Structure 1
Amino acid sequence: MAGDPLTLHRPPAVTPLVDPFGRTIDYLRVSVTDRCDFRCLYCMAEDMTFLPKAEVLSLEEIDRLASAFVRRGTRKLRLTGGEPLVRRGIMDLVRSLSRHLDSGALDELTMTTNGSQLARFAGELKAAGVRRINVSLDTLDEAKFAHVTRWGRLPQVMEGIAAAAAAGLHVKINMVALAGINEDEIGDMLSWTAAAGHDLVLIETMPLGEVAEDRVDRYLPLSRVRRELERRLTLIDLPDSTGGPARYVRIAETGQRLGFITPLTHNFCESCNRVRLTVTGMLYMCLGQDDSADLRAVIRATSDEAALDAAMVEAIGRKPKGHDFVIDRRAARPALARHMSVTGG
């Protein structure tokens, strides 16, 4: 990438970012694009209007902001979208950010992807220091996959997952549990991931953005899913944490790890250590709140890292204790108007 962020004036090392509730913020999720080659029913409208280029952070700006968080104690950095691998030059950004892995300042650089471009990029991701990835995959049925993603092709994604595994990347499958669509496939997904050596994380649908589907009808409480699984499997609670919101169990019969992300039936706020940076440079201190800080305005106004530090500290000082997600049949609108693709998955 043109322009090395390391040449910017840097103040001496400062203390980590800590929110008003004493939680150290050491996990940053960055949306590198709002664009995607899929149009999943629960994530995007089919006729999405994407952001104009002027509003989107350049790769150099993303690097500068992410690096500022690393300097302030971020230990885990996740690149998201939209679909991050459709962003032109994305591997230049990944390779640049990997310098923080080499220095020891960053523990982990990861990515969430729909898998469509993995066959092309898996080897480069591993070479750049990425060790594990999350792949969004809600069904193993080809026709159903085409319905849920609208534009996706299952064979392309399965090829990408196989390429990732062959490259030595640890794969975690993210499956959004959708009533009436894939609730009868959770057992099949468990069997497939166990055989392939992948972890599985089940996710409740989140009320973000206007989409064609009615989330009330698609909402599947994972508390119910767990009860049904426990009728035939032994689930052992684990203390494992990857810095994210999932709570994990070990399935005694297969030895595999299964995660549950439950923003509605059991929120994960009390130990929240993460913030989200959108592709427009807005920092959201909570996925389920609209309060944000405009970091793009700061970095486009000055190269002074002290000003950026001050803006980050002020923003983290407004991080709330928890979110306000709710699925309500009486509500005509989602809990939040912005789409997940803009916020960063």
Structure 2
Amino acid sequence: MSIIKPLAPSAGKPALIDPFQRAITYLRVSVTDRCDFRCTYCMAEDMEFLPKRDLLTLEELDRLSTAFIERGVRRLRLTGGEPLVRRNVMSLIRSLSRHLRSGQLDELTLTTNGSQLQRFAGELADCGVRRINVSLDTLDPDKFAHITRRGELPAVLAGIDAALAAGLKIKLNAVALKNFNEGELPFMLRWAHERGMDMTVIETMPLGEIDEDRTDRYLPLTLVRKRLEERFTLVDIPYKTGGPARYVEVAETGGRLGFITPMTHNFCESCNRVRITCTGTLFMCLGQEDAADLRAAMRGSEGDEALHRAIDEAIGRKPKGHDFVIDRATKRPAVSRHMSVTGG
């Protein structure tokens, strides 16, 4: 597959190309590690979140994101935790939207659990956000309360309705979990497509210590697809959103279904993504521990020369791929940090 080089920025800074000649055009930025849910597969019930003083300010998040946009990043996704619980986060989104107006950024979007959408959907649309991902693993209120530990399904569904009414395109993200939602996925698929929403199913990933054994929940998407094909006609299509999902069209509904398979079939060969945590740590790969401290480089001087040098050095270490394993023998996560720290 040929790599499309990112557009040269007006500042004339070189594009970000990793050692395997992959252009880095997609940046995910976590604005907070905090979340108003405690999903069982994502974090422990009694999570200890970072002290607020350790987080980048909103101004620093803007500066850091802008530095990557100057180097050819075309898609920017805000994540968490839950990004919409960060205080004054809409001021950051409004500021970043200037890059949409200038044409340097193709897309500004976010991943959310939906709990705050009823409040913010209209403002997101006004800022130029055109589509969002909503994480939703079940449409059963009791199961939803169980897996999120504190979430309320009606509030999320009201948020989805508000987002659709505001003109936002929505993709549902559902983690496939054995003995939890595997029998519900066909219904969720129909429900999403009836509302004009795409859906993506995701394999659970071994990130961070949690309160359960992930091997009890792990459900390979090869099996999920096989079961879905007993009910639906799935046709592979070349559709891409910039992320790792591989898509099919569901003939019976006319909608799209994506599969994200970090365990059974990794998607590293075309990886164009890097992630920044809410503390300014750059992870070149979700499934590796190697990282770079961009906060120190940024706070070390008023200009961005040191920051760009640190970015270059880090991209030069981007690995070819990850090494995820879910291991019943050790019961240890492949990566010690929680997803809420890195950003989804």
Amino acid at match of 1:216: T
Matched, 1:100 2:99: yes
Contact 2:11 2:70 in 1 (8 A): no
Aligned residue number for residue 159 of structure 2: 160
The answer for unaligned runs of 5 or more in structure 1 is 1-9
Aligned residue number for residue 204 of structure 1: 203
Q: How far apart are the structure 1 equivalents of 2:128 and 2:91? A: 13
Q: TM-score, normalization: structure 1? A: 0.96
Aligned residue number for residue 6 of structure 2: none
Task: State the Cα distance separating 1:13 from its structure 2 match.
Answer: 2.0
Matched, 1:232 2:231: yes
Contact 2:245 2:259 in 1 (8 A): yes
Q: How far apart are the structure 2 equivalents of 1:303 and 1:275? A: 24
Q: How far apart are the structure 1 equivalents of 2:266 and 2:29? A: 22
Q: How far apart are the structure 2 equivalents of 1:311 and 1:11? A: 21
Contact 1:83 1:113 in 2 (8 A): yes
Aligned residue number for residue 140 of structure 1: 139
**CA-to-partner distance for each residue in 1:257-300, whole Å, 9 max, x for gaps?**
00000000000100000000000100000000000000001111
Task: State the Cα distance separating 1:11 from its structure 2 match.
Answer: 10
Contact 2:27 2:275 in 1 (8 A): yes
Aligned residue number for residue 188 of structure 1: 187
Task: State the Cα distance separating 1:195 from its structure 2 match.
Answer: 1.0
Counterparts of residues 1-40 of structure 1 (less than 5 Å): 12-40=11-39
Stretch moving more, 136-145 or 300-309: 300-309
Amino acid at match of 2:41: Y
Amino acid at match of 2:99: H
Q: How far apart are the structure 2 equivalents of 1:233 and 1:332? A: 35
Aligned residue number for residue 4 of structure 2: none
Amino acid at match of 2:12: A
Aligned residue number for residue 169 of structure 2: 170
Superposition CA RMSD, Å: 1.0
Matched, 1:81 2:80: yes
Aligned residue number for residue 68 of structure 2: 69
Matched, 1:332 2:331: yes
**CA-to-partner distance for each residue in 1:283-340, whole Å, 9 max, x for gaps?**
0000000000000011111122111111101000000000010111112311111000
Aligned residue number for residue 5 of structure 2: none
Percent of pairs with identical residues: 69
Q: How far apart are the structure 2 equivalents of 1:144 and 1:224? A: 22
Stretch moving more, 79-88 or 227-236: 227-236
Matched, 1:46 2:45: yes
Q: How far apart are the structure 2 equivalents of 1:288 and 1:106? A: 26
Contact 2:25 2:72 in 1 (8 A): yes
Contact 1:11 1:305 in 2 (8 A): no
Contact 2:213 2:331 in 1 (8 A): no
Q: How far apart are the structure 1 equivalents of 2:67 and 2:174? A: 32
**SS of 2:29 mapped into structure 1:** strand
Aligned residue number for residue 304 of structure 2: 305
**SS of 2:329 mapped into structure 1:** coil
**SS of 1:208 mapped into structure 2:** coil
**SS of 2:172 mapped into structure 1:** strand
Q: How far apart are the structure 1 equivalents of 2:319 and 2:329? A: 26
Q: How far apart are the structure 1 equivalents of 2:89 and 2:29? A: 12
Task: State the Cα distance separating 1:232 from its structure 2 match.
Answer: 2.2
Contact 1:114 1:135 in 2 (8 A): yes
Q: How far apart are the structure 1 equivalents of 2:331 and 2:121? A: 41
**CA-to-partner distance for each residue in 1:34-62, whole Å, 9 max, x for gaps?**
00000000111110001012210000000
Contact 2:30 2:278 in 1 (8 A): yes
**SS of 2:269 mapped into structure 1:** coil
Q: How far apart are the structure 1 equivalents of 2:231 and 2:60? A: 50
Matched, 1:342 2:341: yes
The answer for unaligned runs of 5 or more in structure 2 is 1-8
Amino acid at match of 1:256: G
Aligned residue number for residue 281 of structure 2: 282
Q: How far apart are the structure 1 equivalents of 2:338 and 2:331? A: 16
Q: How far apart are the structure 2 equivalents of 1:13 and 1:153? A: 48
In the alignment of these two chains, the number of paired residues is 336
Q: How far apart are the structure 2 equivalents of 1:257 and 1:303? A: 46
Amino acid at match of 1:108: E
Q: How far apart are the structure 2 equivalents of 1:78 and 1:50? A: 22
Contact 2:235 2:250 in 1 (8 A): yes
Aligned residue number for residue 217 of structure 1: 216
Task: State the Cα distance separating 1:12 from its structure 2 match.
Answer: 3.8
Contact 1:11 1:306 in 2 (8 A): no
Aligned residue number for residue 314 of structure 1: 313
